[in-house]
Amino acid sequence: MKKKIEFSSDYNEGAHPRLLDKLIETNMVQTHGYGSDPYCEEAYEVIKKLCGNKDLDIHMIVGGTLTNLIVIKAALRPHQCVLSPSNGHIHVQETGSIEATGHKISILSGKDGKITASQIDEACNEYWNNEGIVHLTQPKLVYITHPTEFGTLYKKAELQAISDVCKKRNLYLYMDGARLGYGLAAKENDTDLKFITECCDVFYIGGNKQGALFGEAVVIRNKTIAEDFRPIMKQCGGLLAKGRLLGIQFTELLKDGLYLELSVHANKMAEIIRSSLKRIGIKFFVENTTNLLFPILPDSILEELSKDYSLTYYKRWDEKSSVIRIATSWATTEENANKLAADLEKFC
Amino acid sequence: MKKKIEFSSDYNEGAHPRLLDKLIETNMVQTHGYGSDPYCEEAYEVIKKLCGNKDLDIHMIVGGTLTNLIVIKAALRPHQCVLSPSNGHIHVQETGSIEATGHKISILSGKDGKITASQIDEACNEYWNNEGIVHLTQPKLVYITHPTEFGTLYKKAELQAISDVCKKRNLYLYMDGARLGYGLAAKENDTDLKFITECCDVFYIGGNKQGALFGEAVVIRNKTIAEDFRPIMKQCGGLLAKGRLLGIQFTELLKDGLYLELSVHANKMAEIIRSSLKRIGIKFFVENTTNLLFPILPDSILEELSKDYSLTYYKRWDEKSSVIRIATSWATTEENANKLAADLEKFC
Amino acid sequence: MKKKIEFSSDYNEGAHPRLLDKLIETNMVQTHGYGSDPYCEEAYEVIKKLCGNKDLDIHMIVGGTLTNLIVIKAALRPHQCVLSPSNGHIHVQETGSIEATGHKISILSGKDGKITASQIDEACNEYWNNEGIVHLTQPKLVYITHPTEFGTLYKKAELQAISDVCKKRNLYLYMDGARLGYGLAAKENDTDLKFITECCDVFYIGGNKQGALFGEAVVIRNKTIAEDFRPIMKQCGGLLAKGRLLGIQFTELLKDGLYLELSVHANKMAEIIRSSLKRIGIKFFVENTTNLLFPILPDSILEELSKDYSLTYYKRWDEKSSVIRIATSWATTEENANKLAADLEKFC
Amino acid sequence: MKKKIEFSSDYNEGAHPRLLDKLIETNMVQTHGYGSDPYCEEAYEVIKKLCGNKDLDIHMIVGGTLTNLIVIKAALRPHQCVLSPSNGHIHVQETGSIEATGHKISILSGKDGKITASQIDEACNEYWNNEGIVHLTQPKLVYITHPTEFGTLYKKAELQAISDVCKKRNLYLYMDGARLGYGLAAKENDTDLKFITECCDVFYIGGNKQGALFGEAVVIRNKTIAEDFRPIMKQCGGLLAKGRLLGIQFTELLKDGLYLELSVHANKMAEIIRSSLKRIGIKFFVENTTNLLFPILPDSILEELSKDYSLTYYKRWDEKSSVIRIATSWATTEENANKLAADLEKFC
């Protein structure tokens, strides 16, 4: 079978070489396990500094689904639920992992993957104004992704409003940052890690899709969630024996800007393809400035493209065209981005 | 505080006197517990006969929420989900009890509380046609209520179509019959217990809202669900110590037609009020022929009514009117039904 | 099959007639559901008064397994465990219901069903002194039964010591009082409801085995456990629709001493049989002064007895004899107790 | 703080250099995720060949706790329990992770960490002979570790007997092979992968403690457990995004004998220390021929040793001595083993 060029996701390759080099360099150094070694300690310090807050609990977990379920399990009492946008990753891509911890996900319909402060407020009203309160699950944690599954971003003012309503309604705000770097590096972005830290009770800085072999770094500002987080991690199988592997990678990614650098690159590669698509008049299912593109392509072109490229089919648009997801990443080469851009112009 | 006349639900009173008499009569007879006594055995036989099938497993459980969660827990493997109409009782009225057993409820938008065979088929297509099947929960059980939360009924042909698609897609069909009698006794009904038994893998005959002190009788035709049902009941706290209380009540309700007789009465009481509302031109949020009415009433009238009657507020309709739920039951007196009918005509 | 006289458990009959009379008397009075009616309110007041504390949360639940799992689910965070004696009902008789809520039961070996303050303290030491604390479940709730499964009782000083160690180690103390009355009415008893209320964070006053049709009354002194208890009850299917049935029964049992009166009677019936057994030199597996007897009987006698009586086989003692459990209750007649006593003397 | 020489566990270092080389070599090759890439496929084939069975389902999971909980969750229905030796890793080292999936662990007391076929048979008798079967959890899966937590091994005949009783009693046999290589390479070992495959319904080949950065390879022979294993993995957060990392490592470990070679080395390093301890007359808490030593050391010597070495304190033996665990691994240098051996002889 012919090898295709991958634009199907942002984790088609291994890790950035600098991370591998560091793993090799430290390979035979002896450490204790479970996140208590000097490499993890270093990563914790680097992250606290970037977040502008020394009083944070940091934990690193292998993957996103495991991270989401641990955070939510640690945060909620039995009768409490999560508010999530209708296309939230926990709702549509994680095989019921949140429900498997015993909690309902209550859906807020979103625009371009985003929800608003007033939707959250309204959901709380529905619960708290209801006489039969005992029959409903209690909203307690708001789950958002930033960037969203559609690559869109919350503006600073939107995040602030969401954070404010969460404080007002006694809700936790949890941001899934699987692609946080691609968001922070985007043209339209007006937030930063310090702001996000202040807004959220807990969020994570994604590594899996951002240049690491694996790993997500959870940043917990809220002390109630932080309490006993480690035994709950262990109970869920989320405490990596050789925790050092996570510490080494996150330190390398974050200590001197590599993380943002790689994110800038991915967004630039996306922009090459986006410009090409715009030039030839292709419409987008959703507009954004990050690393995921959602063009609406004629089916005939799709067939041509699929000979050389691996893309992700998102959904049918109309009888003759479909929404496609094209993902660039830290590892996308300029050569491949240009080749896809050229082929798109050729076929369309 | 002035005592109001209750139309807020169908369980505002105790039990039909015949059931109480039987409880008193048998009170000092010694039996073993947990559903293995002669009274339970008698109820099992009565139910099998009514359902026209000797090869059924029958179990009686105190309440509906407990019944629903036990059935679903017994039926599903970890990654499997329930398909439910958007206003399904398990989704909106049971405090996340299904999710607490670890399972997601996937919502199908319904019309008047009902879902269709083609919606179920489509949901299966979405799952089974998806490449990323591992990221989605697997539809395995279809939950319907009959009558629905809106008092509407599935026609025989509709139920047959749903049953057929469930068999085709290897899904369990589970009918929540909390108000099954009110459905079977309705004017528009064209089904019966034998037909329902053949259509469903499992369903329950409601007692709580139909004249018993408490109790729902689960009828299981599917042998896979039946296996080990009793230890799972016990694990969930659903095995009543003095199971005899359930056996005695269901035998009395079902052995000679009392169940249907009481249901006919409740529907007749509803019809008195319905006719009155129609006479004065009140519109209904949803039309049905069972014991729950959903008139759209001007707020001014509501205020008047609420001095004498306890009704259930369902939701705002427009600036000046609201949807109200009026419930009659086996215990509603003709006097009270006529009084409410008359007051409605007076106020409107 | 010949009907045998039941000594197999303390729930072989229905309810004390006074409770039935009250149910009949109030049967057609209309109330709202779920424990918020005047009958429940009355029971709450009666119980608070008996417990000598107005600041308690009272809830009534149909059965013991459901009660135990709800209390423990409401009390624990995910990584926390229960400390229980090795023959604790939750450990050996409830089909893994506690584990089904996600929590481990850590066993303390007991003498005659009882555990001691120092055992609890030691278990805490094992946890808190361990470096690898993250790999162990955290003791957080101590579960005891009083009287125990063996009918034995904690002395006032023992309970005080357990309560003290729980406070010192930040543990909840939970007493399963399925047979609390039989304990309070026992000759050797030196505790009362007020003392128990002060000792425990939460306990329950059993109804199922003490003269009610069904029902256990949970008394919660600890405000952390009390918070959100009702939605968690509902989630577990433990909120009875016609909650009034519980209120009516507990009010009747507790308002004027019926509960203790019935317990005194049961213990007296046990004493008739106990005296007889002692007279003829039968040894006991465990000694107590409550309603459960554990004589060690020769197998030959067992065979004779089992023609007329239904007893509970507990376990083999040696090649020729077995430990048997004989239970009396509020409903045991003096006639039957005397008959069994006489037959024992005749056969032995 | 002075850096100590580690003998505290078998995962104090990174990975064997050959695995790292392979990760680097393949780093920029594009693949799809979640275990469906060519590297995983290659590992699956290598493992099937070693196990002598083409009809196996293989899955690779990051860590042991996650593996154990996924296997058990996939295997059991709600009311079923695990039989485990009293020092089973799932019982004493995984923070209640099995209970968190809803299942009880029933303990069989073991000798040197091992349980016997007749103990298993007896546990089944206790369940199946009991009238009150509905109140007990049903034994369904036997969990053993091989080598055990004490480094001891099951002989071929013992494993065969356990496997036979499991088949007879309709139980799954699951072997936790976290240190399987150290067992297979041991002097006293008389089993191999093919035999283990035939004996077990499911087992895993440990990578974390055996030279990999991370990873355990689950081998499933039983088709019932295999069904839907992948969505359950995903639900538990156990499906690694870049599954390739597991495939690459296991292929490298297993394709040409590296796995056993490293295990032989670790056992040899342990033997150096063991011989030394024996020479000076130190007794062992438990005897074995694998990589974990449990000498009983005088406390005075411990103090000396702890200046240079990091060991694991297991438990107090008597007033003046303690049981210590010394672990060697694939990464232990001959220099360090000799140094510890010499120091032991010097101090004792």
Plot region of A283 (φ>0 → left; ψ -120 to 50 → alpha; else → beta): beta
Select from A93, A232, A236 the residue whose CB has the most chain D CBs within 10 Å, as the one to mutate to test that interface. A236
Instruction: Judge residue B118's burial from the number of C-beta atoms within 10 Å of its C-beta, 0-12 exposed, 13-18 middle, 19 or more buried.
Output: exposed
Cα separation, D83 vs D114, whole angstroms: 12
Residue A123 reports pLDDT greater than 70: yes
CA angle D50, D53, D57 (to 5 degrees): 95
Given pLDDT bands bounded at 50, 70 and 90, which one contains residue B1? low
Chains that touch A (3 or more CB pairs under 8 A): B, C, D
Return all residues near B178 (Cβ < 8 A) that are at least 6 apart: B64, B89, B145, B204, B206, B208, B209, B216
Query: Chain A closest CA to B8's CA: distance in Å?
Result: 12
B228–D135 CB contact, under 8 Å: no
Select from C40, C134, C135, C224 the residue whose CB has the most chain A CBs within 10 Å, as the one to mutate to test that interface. C134
Cα separation, C208 vs C11, whole angstroms: 7
Plot region of B52 (φ>0 → left; ψ -120 to 50 → alpha; else → beta): left
Whether the CB of D231 is below 8 Å from some CB of chain B: the reply is yes
Supply the DSSP symbol for D2: P
End-to-end Cα, chain D, rounded Å: 26
Q: If we measure between CA atoms, which residue out of C191, C214, C203, C73 comes closest to residue C145?
A: C203
Helix (H) or strand (E) holding A319: none
Query: Chain A closest CA to B96's CA: distance in Å?
Result: 6
Return all residues near A216 (Cβ < 8 A) that are at least 6 apart: A60, A61, A62, A63, A64, A67, A177, A178, A204, A205, A206, A207, A208
Cα separation, B314 vs B324, whole angstroms: 5
Query: Chain B closest CA to C101's CA: distance in Å?
Result: 9
The first and second tokens of residue A220, run together, are 């917990």
**Residue C139 has what pLDDT?**
97
B13–C27 CB contact, under 8 Å: yes
Chains that touch C (3 or more CB pairs under 8 A): A, B, D
Query: Chain B closest CA to C158's CA: distance in Å?
Result: 30
D95–C132 CB contact, under 8 Å: no
Number of CB pairs, chain B paired with chain D, less than 8 A apart: 47
**Residue D72 has what pLDDT?**
98
The first and second tokens of residue C8, run together, are 């197999």
Query: Chain B closest CA to A16's CA: distance in Å?
Result: 26
**DSSP-derived pairing of the beta strands D57-61 and C80-85:** unpaired
B236–C237 CB contact, under 8 Å: yes
Amino acid at C22: K
The first and second tokens of residue D284, run together, are 């062992």
Cα separation, C245 vs B14, whole angstroms: 8
- Give, in order, the Cα–Cα distances in Å from C306 to each of A83, B32, C10, C324, D231: 60, 15, 18, 11, 53
**Residue B96 has what pLDDT?**
98
The first and second tokens of residue D65, run together, are 């706790």
Q: How many CA atoms lie within 13 A of C249 on its CB side?
A: 27
3-state secondary structure of A326: strand
Residues of chain C with C-beta less than 8 angstroms from the C-beta of D136: 92-93, 95
Return all residues near A130 (Cβ < 8 A) that are at least 6 apart: A136
C96–D137 CB contact, under 8 Å: yes
Residues of chain D with C-beta less than 8 angstroms from the C-beta of B78: 73-74, 232, 235
D62–A65 CB contact, under 8 Å: no
D134–B74 CB contact, under 8 Å: no
B69-121 confidence digits (pLDDT tens): 999 999 999 999 999 999 999 999 999 999 999 999 999 998 899 999 999 99
Number of CB pairs, chain A paired with chain D, less than 8 A apart: 157
Q: Which of residues 271-290 of A touch D (CB under 8 A)?
A: none
Q: Which of residues 131-160 of C touch D (CB under 8 A)?
A: 132, 134-137
How large is the average pLDDT for residues C291-319?
95
C102–D104 CB contact, under 8 Å: no
**DSSP-derived pairing of the beta strands D312-318 and D309-310:** unpaired
Q: For a pLDDT cut of 90, what percent of chain C falls above it?
A: 96
Preceding omega of C231 cis (within 30 degrees of 0): no
**Taking the CB of residue D302, how many other CB atoms lie within 10 A of it?**
16
Residue C132 reports pLDDT greater than 80: no
Q: If we measure between CA atoms, which residue out of B280, B271, B254 comes closest to residue B151?
A: B271
Cα separation, A174 vs A75, whole angstroms: 10
Query: Chain D closest CA to B119's CA: distance in Å?
Result: 24
Q: How many CA atoms lie within 13 A of C40 on its CB side?
A: 24
Q: How many CA atoms lie within 13 A of B274 on its CB side?
A: 20
A134–C77 CB contact, under 8 Å: no
Return all residues near B129 (Cβ < 8 A) that are at least 6 apart: none
**Residue D2 has what pLDDT?**
73
Helix (H) or strand (E) holding B142: strand B138-145
Residues of chain A with C-beta less than 8 angstroms from the C-beta of C74: 78
Query: Chain A closest CA to D102's CA: distance in Å?
Result: 10
The first and second tokens of residue D325, run together, are 């665990």
Residues of chain D with C-beta less than 8 angstroms from the C-beta of B138: 228, 231
**Residue D213 has what pLDDT?**
98
Q: Smallest Cβ distance to D235: which of B79, B231, B235?
A: B79
Helix (H) or strand (E) holding D265: helix D258-279
Residues in chain B, total: 348
A78–C230 CB contact, under 8 Å: no
Summary mean pLDDT of chain C: 96
Cα separation, D43 vs D249, whole angstroms: 8
Phi, psi of B90 (to 5 degrees): -65, -25
3-state secondary structure of C105: strand
**Residue B264 has what pLDDT?**
98
A170-229 confidence digits (pLDDT tens): 999 999 999 999 999 999 999 999 999 999 999 999 999 999 999 999 999 999 999 999
Query: Chain B closest CA to A262's CA: distance in Å?
Result: 27
**Residue B115 has what pLDDT?**
98
Cα separation, A227 vs C328, whole angstroms: 48
Q: What is the dihedral of CA C266, C270, C271, C276, to 10 degrees?
A: 150
**Ranges of chain D with pLDDT below 50:** none
Strand partners, D293: D326
Q: If we measure between CA atoms, which residue out of D147, D199, D155 comes closest to residue D178?
A: D147
C8-53 confidence digits (pLDDT tens): 999 999 999 999 999 999 999 999 999 999 999 999 999 999 999 9
Nearest CA in chain B to C70: B237
Q: For a pLDDT cut of 70, what percent of chain B falls above it?
A: 99
Residues of chain B with C-beta less than 8 angstroms from the C-beta of D138: 228, 231
Q: At what angle do helices A258-279 and A244-254 cross, to 10 degrees?
A: 70
C140-154 confidence digits (pLDDT tens): 999 999 999 999 999
**Residue C348 has what pLDDT?**
77
A11–D242 CB contact, under 8 Å: yes
Given pLDDT bands bounded at 50, 70 and 90, which one contains residue A1? low
Cα separation, C114 vs C105, whole angstroms: 16
Q: For a pLDDT cut of 70, what percent of chain C falls above it?
A: 99
Nearest CA in chain D to B231: D134
| Residue ranges of domains in chain D, CATH in brackets | 5-11+263-347 (3.90.1150.10), 17-258 (3.40.640.10)
How large is the average pLDDT for residues A309-332?
96
Given pLDDT bands bounded at 50, 70 and 90, which one contains residue C110? confident
A99–B102 CB contact, under 8 Å: yes
Q: For a pLDDT cut of 90, what percent of chain B falls above it?
A: 96
> 3-state SS string over A7-68?
CCCCCCCCCCHHHHHHHHHCCCCCCCCCCCCHHHHHHHHHHHHHHCCCCCEEEEECCHHHHH
Select from D34, D36, D101, D134 the residue whose CB has the most chain B CBs within 10 Å, as the one to mutate to test that interface. D134
A95–D234 CB contact, under 8 Å: yes
Cα separation, A64 vs A85, whole angstroms: 17
Question: What ipTM did this prediction achieve?
Answer: 0.96
Whether the CB of C74 is below 8 Å from some CB of chain A: the reply is yes
Q: Smallest Cβ distance to B95: which of A95, A105, A137?
A: A137
Nearest CA in chain C to A74: C78
Whether the CB of C239 is below 8 Å from some CB of chain A: the reply is yes
B242–C208 CB contact, under 8 Å: yes
Whether the CB of A96 is below 8 Å from some CB of chain B: the reply is yes
Q: If we measure between CA atoms, which residue out of D237, D2, D211 comes closest to residue D97?
A: D237
B117-173 confidence digits (pLDDT tens): 999 999 999 999 876 689 999 999 999 999 999 999 999 999 999 999 999 999 999
Q: Are A70 and A57 in contact (CB under 8 A)?
A: no
Given pLDDT bands bounded at 50, 70 and 90, which one contains residue B342? very high
Residues of chain D with C-beta less than 8 angstroms from the C-beta of A67: 237
Q: Are C193 and C51 in contact (CB under 8 A)?
A: yes
The first and second tokens of residue C106, run together, are 């850590």
Select from C1, C2, C65 the residue whose CB has the most chain B CBs within 10 Å, as the one to mutate to test that interface. C65
Cα separation, A259 vs A19, whole angstroms: 11
Residue bearing the bigger pLDDT, D324 or A129: D324
3-state secondary structure of A323: strand
Instruction: Judge residue C1's burial from the number of C-beta atoms within 10 Å of its C-beta, 0-12 exposed, 13-18 middle, 19 or more buried.
Output: exposed
D6–A30 CB contact, under 8 Å: yes
Query: Chain A closest CA to D234's CA: distance in Å?
Result: 6
